[in-house]
Chain A
Amino acid sequence: MNSNPNVNKLGGNISGRNNWPLNLLLGITAILATYLVVTASLTQTEQMIFGLFAFVSILVINKQSWGHTRIVVMIVISIMITSRYMYWRITSTTDFDTPLDVFFGWGLVLAEIYTYFALLLGYLQTIMPLKRPSVAMSLDQKDWPIIDVMIPTYNESLSVVRTTILAAKSMDWPADKLRVHLLDDGRREEFRDYCNKVDVNYLTRDNNRHNKAGNLNAALQVTNGDYVLIFDCDHIPTRSFLQISMGWFSKDPKLALVQTPHYLYSPDPFEKNLKIHNKVPNEGMLFYGLVQDGNDLWNASFFCGSCAILERKALMEVGGIAIETVTEDAHTALKLSRKGYNLAYLAIPQAAGLATESFSGHIIQRRRWARGMAQIFRIDNPLLGRGLGIFQRLCYTNAMLHFFYGLPRLVFLTAPLAYLIFGAEIFSASVFEVIIYAIPSIFIANITNSLIQGRFRHSFWNEVYETALSWYILFPVLLAMINPKFGAFNSTAKGGTNKEDYVDWKSSTPIIILLLLNCTGIVAGVIRLTADDVSDQIVATIAINLVWAVFNLIIISAAVNTALEARQIRKDTRLSRKLPATINLPDGKTIVCETVEFSQNGFELKISQPLDLPRDSKIMVSLFRGDKEVVLPCAVKRSGKTIGVLVDELTTEQQNGFVQTTFSRADNWINVWNVDSKDSLLRSFGEVMKYGILNLAPLFIHAFHDSLLSMRKKNQHKPFTKS
């Protein structure tokens, strides 16, 4: 990773508008040139040659080793070609005949306009990720500030929260300057007792107003450290978290926030249900790997609610954590920006948490995010109001508009059906014209995006992720735009089990309807093709719509498989890590070994000679971290070539040691996050097909099985057991 030269400007004047006359001149030239390219009137042959030329240029440039210049040049070409397409689309193809055509036609044009702006803003956001390095703390610990670590919890189990508490306490920082607080909105005695036992401050309040934001604000009133570090209760920090993240505050006096990535160590519903874990970059990777780093260039990084440090003085100046919306984190960041504070993103994973446990849980989480972002857009629009620079406005706007993708996505997924089923002419243009204008634009945008974000999101998976959620975020966004106060807050369940695969029919109904609609459209199209009296022009129109519908079908198939909940028999996520260990047998003998994997409750050990131990027999297992050794009492669950053990009831001291030698190791997440994953358009399309349309059989089997069961009207059908 080459470092971005803009990093050196940080801490001083970021915007650096020293050479404005030159910039103005360049800007005017660029706009004029774009205007010429976009509006130039060409014959069909000329347009075809122009499109081909642009396409070939992109292919050639894509192979050059120009460093970052390559990306910028490709973005410029992509913007030119797509703008030219949009100009043509609006001025030349909207001459619709019937009301049906007008409805479907303009619907599609509007969806395309949304996508056009999303493309432009996306390019802006990701054109030059800042890649901010870590800044070392001063050697004199006397100057180090006091940190309040806040861990809000509401209904999560102690077994989840415990690890986070111990890991937070174990962070490398002067002990008298590190104060860990558990903020329990569940007001549970068990938690209070535990906090007393491990010497952590336990805080409650007499109401639950404003949920997490209110919980944090109440804690801000009764604490007084210089900085506030927030961890969701399942986000386990490494020992190095503070040492890695705090340095920037001393370098940049106007800095109010340092956000670090949320690494999820359990597979999210897409990874779990589509079985793409470690094969395809996950949904969050694009945001934390690229978008946040891109935002950082424009001083528009987001606060994401957890794994972030806020300066207390700045936070109090904006009235604490924002309570007006359900995405309090993003809104707080916006408010800090408006006050002129700087925001930083540091792309070093220093904590890890759990993904949502099921597709339905994922939907709940995303509905909240979508609704919250729409609320902010409505009540504190970043395009309006004081205090923001133009690029901050655009980045924040893009972040919010992102969640408006529901309707446009649904339009694209159904657009070819308008012609195939209803015969509506949604393009008032010939097939040839559509091809010579649209195809270069689409292909060039895809190649460019693959270059920019391929490492973080493979091609076409964006479509899959959006398709799965589009229906669900559509209405929260619309309702929030109508009335920002509408709706309730839901927290997200994490870490469940289900003994068998099952299909979440309720959550998947909208996607299944889309699937059936597209199948219907394809059948209708094929039937129309076989009719006797079709002209070449109509054959071409049907063909292009069929291709589109088949593409949609492939995307939808992958999305629909997300609702097939893969069985999850272990409650605890296991991490594959080789750590040195020793087995201490009851007879005093010892075996040096290493872990294969560990979870919050046990581990699997690899030994050189197979060994048979009675099930449930007690052994002691030593784990190491540097010179430290912790000896844990364990019960054998499985033996042979590897030994599987569960840890017994641990003393607080042992729990501490267990967390320190496993989850809070400094290098725990860095090597597994953002492993270089190369994208290629064709291969990625193959992936989408492999996990979607070529793997629909299990869904049909479940459909058959479940409908048979429901026909028998057995009420005891409960495939989902939650423990």
Chain B
Amino acid sequence: MKIISVVSGKGGVGKTTISANLCAALRNKGHEVLALDFDPQNSLRFHFGINPSDEGGIVSSGFQSSRWKESIIKSNDGCLVLPFGKITESERSNFEQAIATQANLLKEQLHSLGLSPEAYVVIDTSGQLPFLKQALSAANLTIVVNIADAASYATIPMINGAIGQYCEGRSDYVGSLYILNQIDRSRQLNEDIADIVSMQVGAENIALVHQDQSIQEALACRTNIHAYDPNCRATQDFSDAASKITEVMSGISQSSAKRNSF
């Protein structure tokens, strides 16, 4: 099982969109994919065309692995989706307490799902610290989502600090990929920030996702961009990013995964 945690230091940068479309891109390349919504907003499911009245998910299942398994829904494009689930106030405090006290809770839950060693798990991670800690502790790979503006750029050191604490040093952790979302190279500021980030984290660790109308339209049509507009730039970008991911993760199914850089 190859666990990818999609995180960001700031909300509104398109983390959920990126998670969903990366799942679709990985699925498109023939991989087994589980999309896990680890965010109380519970919005990842909309990208997979799941019926809004379907309110099950991890939070309502508690921490019995058999019940997580039952909550998995198979989407039209063949991805397995595990929504966060609709939550009551008492459930929320129980859940938050559990993830705050048991450091590797998420990781253990995922491993007890019995997915194949080649399967990808993509975790759409809430920005709240307990969620972040859980997702980072489970991750073989982190994906840091940013948009090319100053505010988003300023959160990179914070997120790097968390990655340093919860991921680096683990033998099964391979590295981070920085996705710059909604990029428009005709704008000088976009261009400059892309260059700076590239210098900071290394050009090989960056993937770009261009500003693309089809991303919004795909969501409105409750599907992913691969299905909606296979020839658009964003589809190409997600496909390129997925290739980078599979390349760097190719060694992870063996027990002695080495620390890789992109």
Which residues of A approach B to under 8 Å, CB–CB?
582, 584, 587-593, 607-609, 620, 622, 627, 629-631
Question: Any chain A CB within 8 A of the CB of B229?
Answer: yes
Besides A582-B233, A608-B231, 18 other A-B contacts (C-beta < 8 A): A582-B236, A587-B213, A588-B211, A589-B213, A589-B214, A589-B229, A589-B232, A590-B213, A590-B232, A590-B233, A591-B231, A592-B231, A592-B233, A592-B236, A593-B231, A620-B186, A622-B185, A629-B185
B233→A630 contact, CB < 8 A: no
Known: A590-B210, A590-B212, A620-B186. A627 touches B231 (CB 8 A): no
Name which residue of chain B comes closest to A609, CB basis. B231
- Between A and B, 30 residue pairs with Cβ closer than 8 Å are A582-B210, A582-B233, A582-B236, A584-B186, A584-B233, A588-B211, A588-B212, A589-B212, A589-B213, A589-B229, A589-B232, A590-B210, A590-B212, A590-B213, A590-B214, A590-B232, A590-B233, A590-B234, A591-B231, A591-B233, A592-B231, A592-B232, A592-B233, A592-B235, A592-B236, A622-B185, A627-B198, A627-B203, A629-B185, A631-B185
CB distance from A485 to the nearest CB of B (A): 57
Interface size on B, residues (CB 8 A): 18
Cα distance A252–B210 in the bound complex, in angstroms? 49
CB distance from B185 to the nearest CB of A (A): 4
Chain B residues with CB under 8 A of A591: 231-233
- Overall SS of chain B's interface: mixed
What 4 A-B pairs are tightest by C-beta distance, nearest first? A588-B213, A590-B233, A631-B186, A629-B185
Name which residue of chain B comes closest to A654, CB basis. B186
Cα distance A627–B191 in the bound complex, in angstroms? 11
Chain A residues with CB under 8 A of B234: 590
Cα distance A609–B230 in the bound complex, in angstroms? 11
Cα distance A631–B235 in the bound complex, in angstroms? 18
CB distance from B203 to the nearest CB of A (A): 5
Name which residue of chain A comes closest to B188, CB basis. A653
Chain A residues with CB under 8 A of B229: 589
Cα distance A620–B233 in the bound complex, in angstroms? 13
Binary contact track B195-221/A, C-beta < 8 Å → 1, others 0: 000100001001000111110000000
> Tally of A-B residue pairs with Cβ under 8 A?
44
Name which residue of chain B comes closest to A593, CB basis. B231
Which residues of B approach A to under 8 Å, CB–CB?
184-186, 198, 203, 206, 210-214, 229, 231-236
Known: A589-B212, A608-B231. A630 touches B185 (CB 8 A): yes
Cα distance A701–B22 in the bound complex, in angstroms? 65
CB distance from A427 to the nearest CB of B (A): 73
Name which residue of chain A comes closest to B217, CB basis. A589
The interface centre, meaning the residue of B210, B231, B236 with most chain A CB atoms within 10 A of its CB, is: B231
Chain B residues with CB under 8 A of A627: 198, 203, 206
Chain A residues with CB under 8 A of B231: 591-593, 607-609
Chain A residues with CB under 8 A of B203: 627
Cα distance A691–B139 in the bound complex, in angstroms? 69
Name which residue of chain B comes closest to A630, CB basis. B185
Chain A residues with CB under 8 A of B232: 589-592
Chain A residues with CB under 8 A of B235: 592
Cα distance A588–B234 in the bound complex, in angstroms? 11
Name which residue of chain B comes closest to A626, CB basis. B203
Name which residue of chain B comes closest to A590, CB basis. B233
CB distance from A582 to the nearest CB of B (A): 5
Chain A residues with CB under 8 A of B184: 631
Cα distance A593–B210 in the bound complex, in angstroms? 15
Cα distance A104–B36 in the bound complex, in angstroms? 96
Cα distance A590–B235 in the bound complex, in angstroms? 10
Cα distance A584–B210 in the bound complex, in angstroms? 10
Chain A residues with CB under 8 A of B212: 588-590
Chain B residues with CB under 8 A of A590: 210, 212-214, 232-234
Cα distance A629–B190 in the bound complex, in angstroms? 11
Chain A residues with CB under 8 A of B185: 622, 629-631
Name which residue of chain B comes closest to A585, CB basis. B213
CB distance from B12 to the nearest CB of A (A): 18
CB distance from B128 to the nearest CB of A (A): 32
Chain A residues with CB under 8 A of B206: 627
Chain A residues with CB under 8 A of B214: 589-590
CB distance from B74 to the nearest CB of A (A): 29
CB distance from A89 to the nearest CB of B (A): 70
Cα distance A430–B39 in the bound complex, in angstroms? 104
CB distance from B77 to the nearest CB of A (A): 20
CB distance from B252 to the nearest CB of A (A): 26
Cα distance A591–B214 in the bound complex, in angstroms? 10
Name which residue of chain A comes closest to B214, CB basis. A589
CB distance from A165 to the nearest CB of B (A): 22
Name which residue of chain A comes closest to B239, CB basis. A592
Name which residue of chain B comes closest to A627, CB basis. B203
CB distance from A578 to the nearest CB of B (A): 15
Cα distance A622–B186 in the bound complex, in angstroms? 9
Chain A residues with CB under 8 A of B198: 627
